């Protein structure tokens, strides 16, 4: 099966789907190797880990495409791809959907922020008017050439306009054919429960640690009505904190030995990145000469 059909079938199952976010192809490799069923190509994590910039509209389609291509080259796991606003009007949305479909992604997420967008857990977000937002979701659904491609429609209207507006937009997105709905930035357990009770599934919950939404386990969120739980930037922020701690210690002491037990060994690192497969291939073709 294709990654899109695999994910679509998985979304029909009752058990919750836990999806870590990736900002590098190595993240995607690790997510796959640790047995997760899908990876989320996070705009926030990609901006941070691949380009070293904050998620405030400084990267767009070309950078996400680069991340997807690099990830597809080293993994087969279904990818849910954060495509921000679709990077323009309806023509841009169509191009975004079709080019990512050609790369074999499983799901494509479009949101209703105005460009330049920003992380959904930052203050000061602005969203498009309802008609524009609905039209772009309609364009995304109409643009796909593989009916298995999953269209995720996200609303960021909770911040600037309140939860009721976000819910209303999501109902409209569903009516246009969106497969999965995603209200970002709810600010309490009560709001999460209201989303789960009022919107048709499948629904996404976003666990952005230290963000606007309180943290719950996947099991708890499943009980609230959510089918998919994203952890979009956890790896990026773990990497940042561990790297900062190490660099501070190295600067002060000029010695890495205190951190060796916190590191992957050289052999483990090479094996994670596929060295054994390359060595076996080299041995096979060399023997045939």
How many residues are there in the chain? Answer: 289
Residues 104-160 have pLDDT tens digits of 999 999 999 999 998 889 888 999 999 999 999 999 999 999 999 999 999 999 999
Would the pLDDT of 69 be above 80?
Answer: yes
Report how far residue 219's alpha carbon sits from residue 269's, in angstroms, rounded to the nearest whole number: 32
pTM of the model: 0.95
Looking at the structure, do residues 168 and 262 belong to the same domain, yes or no? no
Q: Are 25 and 75 in contact (CB under 8 A)?
A: yes
**Host domain of residue 148:** 3-233
Looking at the structure, do residues 134 and 221 belong to the same domain, yes or no? yes
Looking at the structure, do residues 169 and 265 belong to the same domain, yes or no? no
Looking at the structure, do residues 148 and 100 belong to the same domain, yes or no? yes
| Residues 243-264, mean pLDDT to the nearest whole number | 95
Q: Tokens at residue 39, please? A: 């990876």
Would the pLDDT of 4 be above 90?
Answer: yes
Specify the DSSP class assigned to residue 200.
Answer: -
Looking at 214, 233, 252, the residue that finishes a domain is 233
Looking at the structure, do residues 247 and 189 belong to the same domain, yes or no? no
Counting the structural domains of the chain, the total is 2
Looking at the structure, do residues 257 and 174 belong to the same domain, yes or no? no
Looking at the structure, do residues 166 and 200 belong to the same domain, yes or no? yes
Report how far residue 3's alpha carbon sits from residue 65's, in angstroms, rounded to the nearest whole number: 17
The pLDDT > 90 percentage for the chain reads 92
Looking at the structure, do residues 146 and 167 belong to the same domain, yes or no? yes
**What CATH number does residue 53 fall under?**
3.20.20.60
Looking at the structure, do residues 267 and 205 belong to the same domain, yes or no? no
The pLDDT > 70 percentage for the chain reads 99
């Amino acid at each position: 099966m294709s990654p899109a059909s695999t994910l679509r079938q998985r979304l029909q199952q009752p058990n919750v789907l836990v999806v870590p976010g990736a900002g590098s192809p190595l993240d995607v490799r690790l997510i796959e190797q640790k047995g997760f069923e899908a990876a989320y190509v996070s705009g926030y994590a990609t901006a941070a880990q691949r380009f070293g910039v904050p998620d405030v509209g400084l990267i767009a389609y070309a950078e996400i495409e680069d991340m997807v291509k690099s990830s597809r080259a080293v993994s087969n796991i279904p990818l849910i791809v954060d495509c921000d606003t679709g990077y323009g009007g309806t023509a841009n949305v169509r191009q975004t959907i079709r080019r990512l479909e050609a790369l074999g992604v499983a799901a494509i997420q479009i949101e209703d922020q105005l460009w330049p967008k920003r992380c959904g857990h930052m203050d000061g977000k602005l969203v498009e008017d309802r008609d524009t937002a609905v039209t772009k979701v309609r364009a995304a659904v109409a643009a796909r050439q593989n009916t298995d491609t999953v269209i995720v429609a996200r609303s960021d209207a909770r911040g600037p306009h309140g939860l009721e507006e976000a819910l209303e937009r999501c109902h409209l997105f569903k009516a246009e054919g969106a497969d999965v709905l995603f209200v970002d930035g709810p600010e309490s357990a009560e709001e999460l429960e209201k989303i789960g009770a009022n919107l048709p599934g499948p629904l996404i919950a976003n666990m952005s640690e230290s963000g606007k939404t309180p943290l719950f386990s996947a099991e708890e969120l499943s009980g609230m009505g959510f089918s998919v739980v994203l952890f979009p930037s956890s790896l990026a922020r773990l990497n940042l904190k561990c790297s900062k701690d190490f660099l501070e210690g190295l600067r002060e002491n000029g010695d890495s030995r205190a951190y060796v037990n916190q590191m992957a060994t050289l052999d483990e690192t090479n094996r994670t990145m596929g060295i054994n497969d390359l060595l076996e291939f080299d041995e096979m073709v060399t023997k045939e000469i």
